[in-house]
């Protein structure tokens, strides 16, 4: 057989199977369409109390109440919590805050900014989360709407002081543990500007105590900054009731009450017919895309045979 015959046969084969090329192209488009559809469905199924669609800031008590009725709250685990200080000049210079990274069972990560401020802006409404009213709480949490910490720290110059990391999810505190701890500190109060300390001191005390109570109870891997020194309580003289060891004991009591209310809420929802219908609908919605993909995979196998 000559080279010319081989080339001609190749040419004939290329022009003889346009249908297969179109089918494969359509199959690829169907896969992309299915993946995009799946991502949108997955995003809608994520809890808004961790993954808001827009800017979200709320008092700690409001957010904790929403976490308390979140079914998967005990399965959402902290990956790390970072302690930061605002640098430079300005009205919030030396202000301290935390960024917490939370693993969701879906594999997605929620990011929140936690802080105590001298003045707190009016929180945005909680869409489909909680109907709590605006309060004057100085302890707030802001959540990343785009999955990045940049939307929580824009227009800020800041330095990292300390990081507490939990490499194993099974050994990490849950978001419910975190919510109960934040409620403990907010209810406790601690040093305030009325006691003679500055707003800088109050924010530093709050951030330091959140991290240290977590470390005392759940351990974790701590790492200090090479460029900045993290001083306990920001060097402020703290009365015994405001120290970490006392707060650990107060947290234990708060957690018992917090978890008891979670269990009561869970039992109530299990016996609620509307909840049961919602669960059945969710399971049906999950099985739909899987059946669709199985049928599509079967079609590709037949095309290849």
Confidence (pTM): 0.71
Catalogue the long-range contacts made by 255-260 (C-beta closer than 8 Å, 24 or more residues apart): 255/177, 255/180, 255/181, 258/64, 258/68, 258/176, 258/179, 258/180, 258/183, 259/176, 259/180
CA dihedral 186, 191, 194, 197 (to 10 degrees): -140
Interval 212-236 mean pLDDT: 90
Interval 14-42 mean pLDDT: 50
Residue 252 has pLDDT above 80, yes or no: yes
Interval 269-284 mean pLDDT: 48
Lowest average pLDDT, out of 33-37, 39-43, 277-281, 299-303, goes to 277-281
- 3 confidence band (pLDDT: 50, 70, 90): very low
Interval 156-185 mean pLDDT: 96
Phi/psi of residue 258, nearest 5 degrees: -60, -50
Q: How confident is the model at residue 217, as a pLDDT?
A: 97
How many CB atoms lie under 10 A from the CB of residue 201? Answer: 23
> Which one is predicted more confidently, 112 or 189?
112
- Two tokens at 20? 């297969």
């Amino acid at each position: 057989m000559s080279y010319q015959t081989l080339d001609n046969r190749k040419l004939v084969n290329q022009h003889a199977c346009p249908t297969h090329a179109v089918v494969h192209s359509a199959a690829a488009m169907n896969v992309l369409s299915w993946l995009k559809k799946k991502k949108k469905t997955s995003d809608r199924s994520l809890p808004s109390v961790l993954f808001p669609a827009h800017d979200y800031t709320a008092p700690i008590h409001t957010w904790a109440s929403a976490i308390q009725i979140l079914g998967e709250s005990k399965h959402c685990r902290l990956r790390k919590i970072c302690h930061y200080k605002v640098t430079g000049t300005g009205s919030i210079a030396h202000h301290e805050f935390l960024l917490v990274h939370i693993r969701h069972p879906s594999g997605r990560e929620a990011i929140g900014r936690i802080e105590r401020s001298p003045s707190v802006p009016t929180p945005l409404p909680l869409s489909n989360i909680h109907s709590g009213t605006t309060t004057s709480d100085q302890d707030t949490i802001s959540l990343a709407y785009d999955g990045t910490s940049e939307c929580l720290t824009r227009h800020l110059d800041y330095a990292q002081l300390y990081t507490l990391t939990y490499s194993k999810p099974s050994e990490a505190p849950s978001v419910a543990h975190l919510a109960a701890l934040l409620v403990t500190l907010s209810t406790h109060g601690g040093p305030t500007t009325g006691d003679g300390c500055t707003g800088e001191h109050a924010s530093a005390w709050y951030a330091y105590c959140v991290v240290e109570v977590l470390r005392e109870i759940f351990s974790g891997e701590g790492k200090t900054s090479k460029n900045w020194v993290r001083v306990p309580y920001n060097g402020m003289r703290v009365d015994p009731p405001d120290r970490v060891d006392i707060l650990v004991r107060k947290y234990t009591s708060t957690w018992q009450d917090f978890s008891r209310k979670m269990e009561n809420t869970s039992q109530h929802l299990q016996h609620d017919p509307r909840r049961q219908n919602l669960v059945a609908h969710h399971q049906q919605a999950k099985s739909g895309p899987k059946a669709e993909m199985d049928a599509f995979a079967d079609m590709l196998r037949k095309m290849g045979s």
